[in-house]
């Protein structure tokens, strides 16, 4: 495994990040434990989760895995997120509700509590952190990420809450996710005024199919010293190839299937190029991300151990300038950062 500093910090993180979004829905608890065991064995030290994943069940899986062996926690750079609804129950897409384990005040009304709804108020951040710590069965979160920008909440309030958690030792670093470049700039400006470290990372949607962050978000992250973690690096399995075990069920249903049909010509060229390289499309897509300046790690979200171990090949793949040009031709990006991407 290769390691790299997370942005401007001294924290060393693996070039692949384990995503746990499938835990609880597509992957049961036993298989989730096996995947986490194997990840640690392979040297993947960043585990990314969120309070909203599977209605809190994903964090519970991770917590029960930690509880099996208390020694594990010190080897994992644990990342979770805050912003979404943290009521004691979460509504699944199938309409079921899952209560936080041990919560005796499970909400039964469909009317959401406004202070538990989406947002980043100081009260919300503190309460959400406490709930995540309980589910994760840990005393601290290494990287606490804001899952989305809260346009209604002032930065002084957000940073006040994060500073409190850092002072208490419950959070070590703060990151963002799905932020625009100007959100990052505003956050860092306010943090500097408060003599606080501010953001150390940004988790963005980034893949060959979705390259818009190259215009402003990536340059902003490089300027402010933020590590960049790419979510959906295989674009919901679309980039994984027709026969790949890493394509996943999402490729064959819903929006991913429609994109696959709409971009059939590109996908044909893409898979032909990968065949000429003798590599799996999924691994080439991950390797391409690892070649991008400022990219810390893509998130791999395996449903099986086989998918996990297969993704490690991406670290070994070297793409020369000629291959990178061919990839750009198939999957063109904005061409430059702003404003050169659309002006002079």
Per-residue pLDDT band for 90 (boundaries 50, 70, 90) equals: very low
Neighbours of 105 (CB within 10 A): 8
Q: Of the candidates 6, 2, 52, 4, which has an alpha carbon nearest to the alpha carbon of residue 173? A: 6
State the average pLDDT for the chain: 90
pLDDT at 250 over 90: no
Query: Residue 183: in which H helix or E strand, if any?
Result: helix 181-193
Sequence-distant (6+) residues with CB within 8 A of 163 are 194, 196
pLDDT at 295 over 90: yes
Average the pLDDT over 32-53 and give the result: 96
Asked whether residue 339 is assigned to any structural domain, the reply reads: no
Sequence-distant (6+) residues with CB within 8 A of 126 are 161, 164, 165
Among left, alpha and beta (phi > 0; psi -120 to 50; other), residue 300 is beta
Sequence-distant (6+) residues with CB within 8 A of 39 are 18, 47, 308
Q: What is the pLDDT of residue 110?
A: 61
Q: What is the pLDDT of residue 263?
A: 85
pTM, rounded to two decimals: 0.89
Asked whether residue 123 is assigned to any structural domain, the reply reads: yes
Asked whether residue 200 is assigned to any structural domain, the reply reads: yes
For residues 131 and 280, give the distance between their C-alpha atoms in angstroms, rounded to a whole number: 40
Per-residue pLDDT band for 190 (boundaries 50, 70, 90) equals: very high
Q: Active-site positions?
A: 53
Average the pLDDT over 33-41 and give the result: 97
Q: What is the pLDDT of residue 117?
A: 77
Q: What is the pLDDT of residue 114?
A: 80
Average the pLDDT over 236-252 and give the result: 66
Per-residue pLDDT band for 343 (boundaries 50, 70, 90) equals: very high
Please state the domain count of the chain.
1
Asked whether residue 36 is assigned to any structural domain, the reply reads: yes
Asked whether residue 343 is assigned to any structural domain, the reply reads: no
DSSP 196-218: ---EEEEEEE-SSS--GGGTTHH
Asked whether residue 24 is assigned to any structural domain, the reply reads: yes
What percentage of the chain reaches a pLDDT higher than 90? 81
Q: What is the pLDDT of residue 254?
A: 67
Neighbours of 140 (CB within 10 A): 16
Domain range spanning residue 259?
A: 3-330
Per-residue pLDDT band for 92 (boundaries 50, 70, 90) equals: very low
Summarised one tens digit per residue, pLDDT across range 78-89 is 999 999 987 654
CATH of the domain at 120: 3.20.20.100
The answer to whether the beta carbons of residues 88 and 99 sit under 8 Å apart is yes
For residues 208 and 210, give the distance between their C-alpha atoms in angstroms, rounded to a whole number: 6
Asked whether residue 342 is assigned to any structural domain, the reply reads: no
Per-residue pLDDT band for 94 (boundaries 50, 70, 90) equals: very low
Per-residue pLDDT band for 45 (boundaries 50, 70, 90) equals: very high
Asked whether residue 335 is assigned to any structural domain, the reply reads: no
């Amino acid at each position: 495994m290769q390691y790299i500093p997370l942005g401007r910090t001294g924290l060393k993180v693996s070039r692949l990040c384990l995503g746990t979004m499938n835990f609880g829905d597509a992957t049961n608890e036993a298989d989730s434990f096996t995947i986490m065991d194997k990840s640690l064995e392979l040297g993947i030290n960043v585990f990314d989760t969120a309070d909203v994943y599977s209605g809190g069940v994903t964090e519970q899986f991770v917590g029960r895995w930690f509880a099996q062996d208390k020694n594990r926690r010190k080897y994992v750079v644990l990342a979770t997120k805050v912003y979404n609804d943290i009521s004691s129950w979460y509504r699944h897409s199938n309409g079921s509700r899952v209560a936080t384990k041990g919560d005796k005040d499970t909400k039964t009304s469909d009317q959401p509590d406004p202070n538990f709804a989406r947002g980043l108020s100081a009260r919300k951040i503190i309460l959400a952190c406490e709930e995540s710590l309980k589910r994760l069965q840990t005393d601290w979160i290494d990287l606490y990420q804001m899952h989305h920008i809260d346009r209604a909440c002032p930065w002084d309030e957000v940073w006040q809450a994060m500073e409190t958690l850092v002072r208490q030792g419950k959070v070590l670093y703060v990151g963002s996710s799905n932020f625009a470049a100007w959100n990052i700039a505003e956050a860092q400006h306010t943090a500097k005024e408060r003599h606080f470290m501010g953001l150390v990372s940004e988790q963005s949607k980034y893949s060959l199919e979705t390259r818009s962050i190259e215009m402003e978000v990536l340059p902003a992250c490089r300027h402010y010293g933020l590590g960049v973690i790419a979510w959906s690096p295989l674009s919901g399995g679309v980039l994984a190839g027709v026969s790949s075990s890493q394509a996943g069920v999402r490729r064959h249903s819903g929006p991913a299937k429609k994109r696959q049909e709409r971009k059939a010509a590109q996908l044909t060229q893409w898979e032909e190029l990968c065949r000429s390289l003798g590599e799996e499309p999924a691994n080439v897509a991950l390797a391409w991300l690892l070649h991008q300046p400022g990219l810390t790690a893509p998130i791999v979200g395996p449903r099986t151990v086989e998918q996990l171990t297969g993704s490690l090949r991406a670290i070994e793949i070297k793409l020369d300038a000629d291959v990178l040009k061919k990839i750009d031709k198939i999957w063109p990006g904005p061409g430059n950062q702003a404003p050169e991407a659309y002006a002079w």
